Amino acid sequence: TPGRTDGARGLRFSPVAPNTADQVTVPVGYAQSVVIRWGEPILRGAPAFDADKQTAAAQAGQFGYNNDFLSLLPLRGEHGRQVLVANHEYTDEILMFKGYDSENPTREQVEIAWAAHGLSVVVVQEEHRSGKLTPVTRHPLNRRLHTTSEFELTGPAAGSPLLRTSADPSGRKVLGTLNNCAGGTTPWGTTLHGEENFNQYFANGSSPTDKRYGIGSGATERKWERFDRRFDLKQEPNEAHRQGWVVELDPYDPDSTPKKRTALGRFKHEAAQPRLTEDGRPVVYMGDDERFDYFYKFVSSKRMKKGNSRAAREHNLTLLDEGTLYVAKLTGDTPQDIDGTGKLPADGEFDGSGQWIPLATGDVSHVPGMTAEEVYVFTRLAGDKVGATKMDRPEDVEPSPRTGRVYVALTNNTNRGKGTNPGADEANPRNLNKHGQILELAEHWDDPASDGFAWRLFLVAGDPNDPATYYAGFPKEKVSPISCPDNVAFDPYGNLWISTDGNQLGSHDGLFGVATQGERRGELKQFLTVPKGAETCGPIIQDRRVVVAVQHPGEIDGASVEKPASVWPDGPGRLVRPSVVAVWRKDGRDIGV
Ligand code: FEO
Ligand code: CA
Ligand code: CA
Ligand code: CA
């Protein structure tokens, strides 16, 4: 049945019911197709995907594994085409290789995994009168960047002794980008990519800072250290310092070397989303996705130059190298009412004030006992020292293009209040928090460079029948249930779209839209669900189409190539493949109007 199709403009679709179908389920009246799958060739000379004959050389010219962040950029002069940029966060070897022996991976398997990580740039063609997108293989802008591609460290910590290795005495030239999770798109036409759980690739960590970043003291699960000494910290103790950054890529220049921007700090970067101050300086908001870790922003000291001249483009590629890095401290206004259950405080809101604590400006440290280089390379320790607020896993962040308010997905934190861990506070109000929350932040005077802000929780996720949930005050009997918000994006009407990872309500992950203004503020509606074992990533909401990355379909304990948990997208007998999906309206009209 079509169901209710009223709603805020942009959200007038019949909500998809929670379900466990092994498919992408979209609202009645909508169509979908796979844009591109793991392994499809994008570069000249790359072969078609063949699961039984996969090689590292083939993979280096094919779309990578586990697509996460997506960006679609305009392509001038080529009608009906856009540039798709995708992150490939990590590999699931057990779902990629027949008979995979996790104790003894082969060199070829390891090199395939290296080539399946990283970034893809692929031009896509729109179909006339639908939202369908298809890849333009061998387009000159198409590009793959992976674990052996060259990246340049820039900004105030570049060249630091902390970043030098035996292969790179300059401390500026890094091979590879790892665990690119979410990201952002800049107003000057580049993309930002967060290097998140890089700790898992490094063996034999030993320093206290390795420990603070979650690097283990033994072998890694993937055993890459057997095949390249740079993954063995006993041999190359500084190599892990060269991951955990925000990468900036210029997708319009296929010959450019992507940059790792040290001014934005080193942590488990989930995402990086910029907006401009009134005088044109970029401010980048960033979360560190770890239980009890921090939320940051970087304020550039340079103004963006408008236009597409070579001089403007070159100037804009230096914007993220100079400025100040801050960390957030949040103070609730009704702390006496926070009991860890999620019960609303007497003033009716989880809310309060916030302070941006400066950590470093260029070569100047603002943290006692740490040099500026140390602040950038060991940013988590700087946050510890200044007493930043320990959050429930800050994931993606998105400023509203309509109101300037910033939305931060805090995905969950089942360790909150457990044992000696910090207990609930007003911004993280539930102990053993399974479902997560979304924070809404308003900078003072709506100035992104402000050193203070107001905040409130927009959404406290979970079963709407559970009193410990909050849907921005909207009647909860009229909303779709949501759990574990991860990625956030805005549609052309100013509605917030939220994708989830790890739904704890017994149904599959999915994508939701919610109004942030007006009388329908908080009316959350589910737009799609993803197949078994998958999370929903990278949502892009254009007027004619919704695009999502279906990441790690079939990733269920005990599943393998031989015993698949999902048969998406190609049916039984075919390998389950992470893929990008486009959804559009069958009648050709805009999404949700
Ligand atoms: Fe890769 Fe924080 O999700
Ligand atoms: Ca309050
Ligand atoms: Ca994520
Ligand atoms: Ca996640």
50 pLDDT above the threshold of 50? yes
End-to-end Cα distance, the chain: 19
**Of 75, 82, 86, which Cα lies nearest the Cα of 117?**
86
% of the chain exceeding 90 in pLDDT:
98
What pLDDT does residue 552 have? 98
Residue 5: pLDDT band by 50, 70, 90 thresholds? confident
Mean pLDDT of the chain: 97
Q: Is the pLDDT of residue 301 over 70?
A: yes
Cα separation of 484 and 481, whole Å?
A: 11
Ligand 4 center from residue 336 Cα (angstroms): 31
- Between CA 542 and CA 529 the distance in angstroms is 19
Bridge partner residues of 122 (DSSP) = 84
Spatial distance between the Cα atoms of 514 and 479, rounded to a whole number of angstroms = 9
Q: How far is the CA of 351 from the centre of ligand 2 (A)?
A: 4
- What pLDDT score was predicted for residue 1? 36
- Mean pLDDT for the stretch of residues 452-457: 98
Ligand 1 atom, smallest distance to 197 CA: 1
Mean pLDDT, rounded, for 341-367:
98
Rounded CA-CA distance 520/497 in Å is 14
| Mean local confidence (pLDDT), 563-591 | 97
Residue 68 Cα: closest atom of ligand 1: 1
Where does ligand 1 bind, in terms of residues with CB under 6 Å?
Answer: 89, 181, 196, 270, 289, 395, 486
pLDDT exceeds 90 at position 151: yes
- pLDDT at position 91 is 98
Any idea which residue has 């010219």 for tokens? 61
Residue 460 Cα to ligand 3 midpoint, Å, equals 18
Give the position, in ligand 1's atom list, of the atom nearest the Cα of 396. Answer: 2
- Looking at residue 6, its pLDDT comes to 87
Residue with tokens 């398997």: 109
Q: What is the ipTM of this complex?
A: 0.95
Atom in ligand 1 nearest the alpha carbon of residue 270: 2
The mean pLDDT value for 205-233 works out to 98
Token digits of residue 453: 């802000």
Q: How confident is the model at residue 4 (pLDDT cuts 50, 70, 90)?
A: low
What's the pLDDT tens digit per position in 100-139? Answer: 999 999 999 999 999 999 999 999 999 988 899 999 999 9
Q: By CB neighbour count within 10 A (0-12 exposed, 13-18 middle, 19+ buried), where does 38 fall? A: buried
Secondary structure element (H or E) that encloses residue 31, with its range: strand 30-37
532 pLDDT band, cuts 50/70/90, is very high
**pLDDT tens by residue, 476-506:** 999 999 999 999 999 999 999 999 999 999 9
> Can you tell me the mean pLDDT for 10-39?
98
Look at residue 128 in the predicted model and tell me its pLDDT: 85
Closest residue CA from atom 1 of ligand 1: 181
Q: Is the pLDDT of residue 222 over 70?
A: yes
Residue 546 Cα to ligand 3 midpoint, Å, equals 18
Q: What is the pLDDT of residue 493?
A: 97
Say if residue 239's pLDDT is above 80: yes
Closest ligand to Cα 549: 3
Element (H, E) at 391: strand 391-392
Q: Which ligand is nearest to the CA of 502?
A: 4
In this model, does residue 3 exceed pLDDT 70? no
Nearest to 141 by CA among 313, 256, 310, 37: 256
Q: What is the pLDDT of residues 72-104, one digit of tens each?
A: 999 999 999 999 999 999 999 999 999 999 999
State CA 88 to chain mean position distance. Answer: 11
Q: What is the pLDDT of residues 388-443, one digit of tens each?
A: 999 999 999 999 999 999 999 999 999 999 999 999 999 999 999 999 999 999 99
Distance 524 CA to ligand 2 centre (A): 22
Distance 524 CA to ligand 3 centre (A): 20
